[in-house]
Structure 1
Amino acid sequence: MPFYAPPAPFATPSLTPGPAVTPIAFVHAIVQAYTQRNRSPAEALALAQIAPTALADPAARITAAQMERISGAAMLELDDEALGWFSRRLPWGSYGMLARASLSAPTLDVALKRWCRHHGLLTDDITLNLTVAGDTATLTITEQRELGALREFCLVSVLCNIHGLACWLVDSRIPLQSAQFPFAAPAHHDVYGVLFSGPTAFDTAPAGIRFDARYLALPLRRDEPALQQMLKRALPLTVLQYRRDRLLVQRVRQALVAHPALTHSAEALAALLHVSPRTLHRQLKDEGASLQALKDDVRKNRALELLLRTARPIKQVAEAAGFQNEKSFIRAFRGWTGESPAEFRRAGTPLV
């Protein structure tokens, strides 16, 4: 699908075999963009190795590399990075200009608000908006005119683009809590699980995505040279999930606090966070932390609070702190404080 900064002509990707998950409906949308300009898509289709038989099959799928190739070719030929979505063209370099304007922002919050505001200068057919409510950030698209046959392709692409850009700017995977779209579930609705992590709702306006608002406080980690390099191959940012999550420490800590009984092992915790145990340990190491240290810190704080502020039996405190038995809790507690839980409680002032 299109992306905010198309690849340069010399950066054409190799069409090596890969999973074909992109629905042919998105290719038809690009063909429609050519039709609007009275141009033939034949050259772009041939360049992407998309056969006429695939166009005739509503269930056909193409690879990400094929989509990258036809998108880039169409943007060049039509000189429109929006591929016909809007009432006026977005000339070559438009989305690169938006990315550059956001690059100097101190945080992701400022960068995304700039992107939303500056996007309105390019077109008034849609309005982008970033809001925060509690711990949740929401990016929405308000349609200011009928988008017609290209509606789905436009809304999906714009949200994929801005999400991919956000991940790139902070060099972090930003898991989506949910996505929603104001149209009925299409026949290819299964692809939404690939494009958007988290559940997707249909027939729900406005189009938008939700994610943890703490990502907005992250500083940007990119500069002009990095931007120049990214602009050569931007599409993968919209289809490949970042492995690194710079908020993983906070997410692990939150899971340990909220689900002490479900996080006894690295395997259980990793499943809860939708990552592999190996990825969990590697990313925590990248952030200068370890799972055992985080467990100890969360369990210690929980145990201290319960021992000082309640009269619960030691066995119940151990269970609430995430220990599978009282004996292991007492052993760990002695390691933390040099005292047994009972000794610590006697020395403090418990509150019933």
Structure 2
Amino acid sequence: MEKTTILCHYVQALMKSIKRNGHDPLPILQYAGIPLEVANDANARVPYRHFIKLLRKCMAILQDEYLGLVEPAVPTGSFYFAGHLLIGAPNLKKALHLGIGYYQHISNAYDLKLVEDGDIVRLEAKIIKPELDPDHLLAEFILTGWHRTACWLISKNIILKEVNFNYAPPEHESEYRYLFPCPRNYDQPCLSLSFSAEYLSLPITQNSSTLVDYIRKSPENILLNPVEDDSYSTKIRLEIEACENNSFPTFEVIAEKFFMTPKTLRKKLKSEGVTYQKIKDIIRRDIAIYHLTQHKWSISEIAIKIGFSEPGAFIRAFKGWTGVTPRAYRESDSDS
């Protein structure tokens, strides 16, 4: 997670909420180490650790676990009590029902229900005041939060069947491939995620000790943190990240590791809407942004470190990824 980045769309969504709730966003951006010039570009990216710092500061200032996106606010500390309620349940089904009941009792921010339909179960949500969530941050928070917490409760990745959104595909829809690695449907009647009903009977594996650690790492582990899934794009990313010195194996080497031909693996990736080059570019982009903000390596050294033979190619690629040159990105970071 150290070298992961996040789209500035999310920074802008938080700043809009902060401003709407009567606070000046500039000091908060400065506290988080996010340059204003970068924050103003919705297509730019910032290190994930800076975003989490921003997120926590916003939550503390607003005293609202739902980041000022609901009325009235959900007091900080609510998740602490909910967590203790959840870990006492015998299985996931009971835990989800208890959690839904708890949040419906303390807040009318959104309606939530668990619907069992044969061997499929759906968690359905409807935000009461969607006008407070124009950038869909709350919608994503609800879906990812309940899914990640359910996974944590049973110590298993719950593979999603599909996710439905009650709005049109947003401009940052490309991020959803990693947040929701499953079929995604838009303009639906309500927000929902579905998964196999088999998970409901699994026992809760967490306790008060592990809950303390989970809460300490929140909200980054429940908000916009992609879960590991069984897709080949994720498997390839993990293979690359495990390589020393951020080296990039050839596609043939990767295919051999999965005991399949390059042609077969290429088809698998195509079905997931991604290419090996795209996976490498995402990893290179995040590593480059990390090193640019560390100020330890020159731009030429970073270019070589992530596999470019000469700085010019790296500069062109980086501008294509973020909209600015590596030097401009570094300078704006230094000015923050």
TM-score grouping bracket, smaller chain normalisation: 0.5 to 0.7
The correspondence for 1:225, drawn from 178, 185, 209, is: 209
Q: Which has the larger radius of gyration?
A: 1
Q: Structure 1 CA distance, aligned partners of 2:81 and 2:184?
A: 30
1:74 partnered with 2:58: yes
Question: Is 1:127–1:141's contact at 8 Å kept on the other side of the alignment?
Answer: yes
Structure 1 residue runs without a partner (length 5+): 1-14, 245-265, 275-352
Q: How many residues align?
A: 237
Q: Percent identity?
A: 22
Task: Name 1:65's counterpart in structure 2.
Answer: 49
Deviations 1:130-179 (A, max 9, x none): 11111111111123333334451111111111111001110111111111
Alpha-carbon distance, 1:32 to partner: 1.8
Task: Name 1:96's counterpart in structure 2.
Answer: 80
Q: Structure 2 CA distance, aligned partners of 1:58 and 1:273?
A: 31
Alpha-carbon distance, 1:79 to partner: 0.9
Q: Structure 2 CA distance, aligned partners of 1:214 and 1:145?
A: 33
Task: Name 1:115's counterpart in structure 2.
Answer: 99
Task: Name 1:44's counterpart in structure 2.
Answer: 28
Task: Name 1:202's counterpart in structure 2.
Answer: 186
Alpha-carbon distance, 1:30 to partner: 1.2
Structure 2 residue runs without a partner (length 5+): 231-257, 270-336
Deviations 1:291-322 (A, max 9, x none): xxxxxxxxxxxxxxxxxxxxxxxxxxxxxxxx
Q: Give the TM-score taking structure 1 as reference length.
A: 0.62
Q: RMSD in angstroms over aligned alpha carbons?
A: 2.6
SS state of the match for residue 127, structure 1?
strand
**Relative contact order, higher structure (CA 8 A, sep 6+):** 2
Deviations 1:156-214 (A, max 9, x none): 11111111100111011111111111111111101011111201111112011111111
Alpha-carbon distance, 1:106 to partner: 0.4
Task: Name 2:160's counterpart in structure 1.
Answer: 176
Question: Is 1:86–1:123's contact at 8 Å kept on the other side of the alignment?
Answer: no
Question: Is 1:80–1:90's contact at 8 Å kept on the other side of the alignment?
Answer: yes
Alpha-carbon distance, 1:96 to partner: 2.0
Task: Name 1:241's counterpart in structure 2.
Answer: 227
Q: Structure 1 CA distance, aligned partners of 2:69 and 2:114?
A: 21
Task: Name 1:19's counterpart in structure 2.
Answer: 4
Task: Name 2:302's counterpart in structure 1.
Answer: none
The correspondence for 2:13, drawn from 9, 21, 29, is: 29
Question: Is 1:105–1:220's contact at 8 Å kept on the other side of the alignment?
Answer: yes
Q: Is the alpha carbon distance of 1:196 and 1:114 closer, same or farther for their aligned partners in structure 2, counting shifts above 3 Å?
A: same
Task: Name 2:116's counterpart in structure 1.
Answer: 132
Question: Is 1:178–1:198's contact at 8 Å kept on the other side of the alignment?
Answer: yes
- Residues 275-290 of structure 1 aligned to structure 2 (within 5 Å): none
Question: Is 2:116–2:197's contact at 8 Å kept on the other side of the alignment?
Answer: yes
Q: Structure 1 CA distance, aligned partners of 2:171 and 2:186?
A: 12
Deviations 1:54-99 (A, max 9, x none): 2221212233322211111111121111111111111211122222
Q: Give the TM-score taking structure 2 as reference length.
A: 0.65
Q: Is the alpha carbon distance of 1:199 and 1:226 closer, same or farther for their aligned partners in structure 2, counting shifts above 3 Å?
A: same
SS state of the match for residue 62, structure 1?
strand
SS state of the match for residue 147, structure 1?
helix
Poorly superposed stretches of 4+, deviation over 6 Å: 271-274
Alpha-carbon distance, 1:111 to partner: 0.6
Deviations 1:235-262 (A, max 9, x none): 2244142579xxxxxxxxxxxxxxxxxx
Question: Is 1:172–1:242's contact at 8 Å kept on the other side of the alignment?
Answer: no
